[in-house]
Each structure stands twice: as structure tokens, then as C-alpha cells.
């Protein structure tokens, strides 16, 4: 039966099998990690916790869980316009299951490699399945993008498509594979975040739902008008939910999209689109910032649409 230190050695062996990062002076195995930041760059850090059967199902494949745990945090770095550098991983595991850990690392480390990220340390404890990830990234201090910087009449843009992950949650086993993949293996928009940092006035990633995160994005006193007809919709979502109101609810309140939501001056919208075209990623204009504090959703007929709820709440049951 493996113990804590056997599992740590297993993780370390996987990490050290990859190419070394010369900026990591001390990695896994000491009391703390030591890294050299790039001169002139600001450090950008984020942390998140994923709890089994709250943020993911405990019966999901472990490689999907590993991917999701990292993707959720990478999405936060993307929203700041940062690049990813280093990760800390805190695992609380019900038992020392080497096969589960290996599969988890398959998902986690594959995404880390694609994202230019190095795992440098962490912790393992015994208990109900719980995953804690801390990331350290970097950004040009002059190009860090924040919330709360929007102005009236700026356009509201979103990358990718909305509602797929929420649809997978609602449909459960009946969901087509393309929707399930958006739930279990979201693609963090890291490169898009770097590109959009040059034109965005403010930016956030959509994890709690479009309406909830738009409210987080806007400064106090400002609101928005959203055009539901403009919401980017995947063919799979349109096929699964043909009734407009059901689909709109998933798109504005469902969450787990991990797309980027940003405000942009009207004369910079085309520039944003052209920049992302090189990444083969769509960015869609879905509305505008208003001086009124309410967020209003308009149907194609001009009517006001009221969503069933605002979005995800960690303490809602």
C-alpha cells in the first residue's frame, strides 16, 4: 500500500521526466519551491479549489478531472492577459490509489505541457476528494487587464460559444460527446487572453455564468443590454435545445463555459476580431455597456427576457 511520500515521489518522477525549466531553482521535494521571475514582468497568481460531487462528479475519469482542475485556474490567468509559468497542486485523496493518481496526472500534465506550465510543488493529505491548484503566471505590468474598467457605450464581446457545459450538466448521460467534453475538458483561452489584452478595457472568464460574471466585470452603477440573438451557439447546443428560452437560460446562467468576456471601445472591435482570427477563434459582439445599472437581455423581437436564475453560487443547494 502506497503512502503519502510514495505518491509524491510518483508525481516528482512524472514532472522530472519532462524538459527542465531553468527558472525553477528548487522544485518538488523541498519545503518550498524557488523560481526566478523574468525581469520586468509582473507576477500574476490565482488559486482555486474543486470539491468532488460539487464541481465535478467523483465517478468521472481521473484524466478529465486532472484537466478540469488545471483548466479552471488557467482560465483566470487568461482573463488577466497573463502567460502561465508555475503550478502548485494540493491533493486531498480518500486513499492512496496509484492508478487514479496516474490518470489524474495524465490530464493535468498534458494540459500543463501545452500551456508552458511547470508543476513545482504542492501537498497530499487524506480525506474526501478535494483538489487545490495555485498558479503563478506573468504579464507585462502595462497590459494587465482587470475587472471594473468598463465605460458606457463600450461593446461587450465573448469568445467561443456559450451554454455547452450547462447543457451537458442538464442532459447528463443523454448529452452528446461534444457537449460532455466542453464540461469535463474546457479549453482555457490563454493565448486569446494575451492577444485581447492589447484591445480590452476589462475582461473576466465565464465560470459562474454570463449574467453573474458580467455583473462582476462591470463597475458599480453601470449595466448592460445583451442581444440574445447574438449569443454564440454551437450546433450541438442548438440541436439539443431547440426551444429558445431553454437554450437562452443555459447560455446566460449556466456557467462552466470558461470563455473570455470583455468590454471594448466600439472602434476596437474589428481589431479584436482580426487578432483572434489568427488563432481560429471567434469573438462575438453580444451587447453594450449602459449607464443604467440593470443588465437587460433582449429577445430577437425586442422583448425583455428574464432568466430563471443569475448564475452559479457555491453555497446554493
Q: What is the mean pLDDT of the chain?
A: 95
Q: Is the pLDDT of residue 312 over 60?
A: no
pTM of the model: 0.94
Residues 81-113 have pLDDT tens digits of 999 999 999 999 999 999 999 999 999 999 999
Where exactly are the structural domains of the chain?
Answer: 4-142, 146-305
More confident residue, 268 or 4: 268
Provide the pLDDT for residue 316: 57
Task: State the average pLDDT over residues 160-170.
Answer: 97
Give the pLDDT mean for 65-76. Answer: 98
pLDDT of residue 311: 61
Which segments are annotated as binding site for Mg(2+)?
31, 46-48, 76, 123, 205, 208
Q: pLDDT grade, residue 315 (50/70/90)?
A: very low
pLDDT digits 0-9 by tens, 226-251 = 999 999 999 999 999 999 999 999 99
**Residue 3 — pLDDT band, cuts 50, 70, 90?**
confident
Q: From 3.30.1330.10, 2.70.70.10, 3.40.50.720, 1.10.357.10, which CATH number describes the 4-142 domain?
A: 3.30.1330.10
pLDDT at 4: 86
- In the annotated binding site for substrate, the residues are 55, 312
Identical fold, 4-142 and 146-305: no
Residues that constitute the known binding site for ATP:
122-123, 146, 207
Could you list the residues known to form a binding site, using ranges.
31, 46-48, 55, 76, 122-123, 146, 205, 207-208, 312
**What is the CATH code for 146-305?**
3.90.650.10
**Complete DSSP assignment for the chain:** ---HHHHHHHHHHHHHTSPP-TTEEE-TTSSS-EE-PPTTPEEEEEEEEEEBTTTB-TTS-HHHHHHHHHHHHHHHHHHTTPEEEEEEEEEEESS--HHHHHHHHHHHHHHHHHTT-EEEEEEEEESS-EEEEEEEEEE-GGG---SS---TT-EEEEES-SSHHHHHHHHGGGS-HHHHHHHHS----HHHHHHHTTT-SEEEE-SS-HHHHHHHHSPTT-EEEEEGGGS---HHHHHH--SHHHHHHHHHH------EEEEE-GGGHHHHHHHHHTTT--EEEEEEEESSS-EEEE-TTS-EE--S-----TT--
Amino acid at each position: 500500500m502506497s503512502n503519502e511520500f510514495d505518491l509524491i515521489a510518483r508525481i516528482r518522477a512524472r514532472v522530472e521526466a519532462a524538459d527542465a525549466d531553468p527558472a525553477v531553482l528548487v522544485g518538488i521535494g523541498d519545503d518550498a519551491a524557488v523560481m526566478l521571475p523574468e525581469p520586468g514582468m509582473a507576477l500574476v497568481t490565482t488559486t482555486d479549489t474543486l470539491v468532488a460531487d460539487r464541481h465535478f462528479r467523483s465517478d468521472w475519469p481521473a484524466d478529465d478531472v486532472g484537466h478540469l482542475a488545471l483548466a479552471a485556474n488557467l482560465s483566470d490567468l487568461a482573463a488577466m492577459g497573463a502567460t502561465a509559468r508555475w503550478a502548485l497542486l494540493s491533493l486531498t485523496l480518500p486513499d492512496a490509489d496509484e492508478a487514479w493518481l496516474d490518470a489524474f496526472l495524465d490530464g493535468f500534465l498534458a494540459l500543463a505541457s501545452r500551456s508552458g506550465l511547470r508543476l513545482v510543488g504542492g501537498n497530499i493529505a487524506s480525506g474526501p476528494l478535494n483538489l487545490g491548484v495555485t498558479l503563478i503566471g506573468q504579464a507585462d505590468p502595462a497590459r494587465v487587464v482587470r475587472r471594473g474598467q468598463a465605460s458606457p457605450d463600450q461593446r461587450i464581446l465573448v469568445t467561443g460559444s456559450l451554454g455547452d457545459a450547462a447543457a451537458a450538466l442538464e442532459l447528463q448521460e443523454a448529452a452528446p460527446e461534444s457537449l460532455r467534453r466542453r464540461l469535463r475538458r474546457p479549453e482555457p483561452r490563454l493565448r486569446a487572453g494575451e492577444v485581447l489584452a492589447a484591445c480590452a478595457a476589462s475582461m473576466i472568464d465565464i465560470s459562474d455564468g454570463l449574467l453573474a460574471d458580467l455583473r462582476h466585470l462591470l463597475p458599480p452603477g453601470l449595466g448592460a443590454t445583451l442581444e440574445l440573438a447574438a449569443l454564440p451557439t454551437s450546433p450541438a447546443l442548438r440541436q439539443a435545445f431547440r426551444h429558445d428560452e431553454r437554450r437562452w437560460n443555459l447560455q446566460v446562467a449556466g456557467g462552466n463555459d470558461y470563455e473570455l468576456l470583455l468590454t471594448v471601445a466600439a472602434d476596437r472591435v474589428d481589431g479584436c476580431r482580426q487578432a483572434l482570427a489568427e488563432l481560429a477563434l471567434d469573438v462575438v459582439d453580444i451587447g453594450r455597456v449602459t449607464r443604467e445599472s440593470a443588465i437587460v437581455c433582449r429577445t430577437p423581437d425586442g422583448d425583455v427576457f428574464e432568466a430563471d436564475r443569475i448564475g452559479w453560487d457555491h453555497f446554493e443547494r
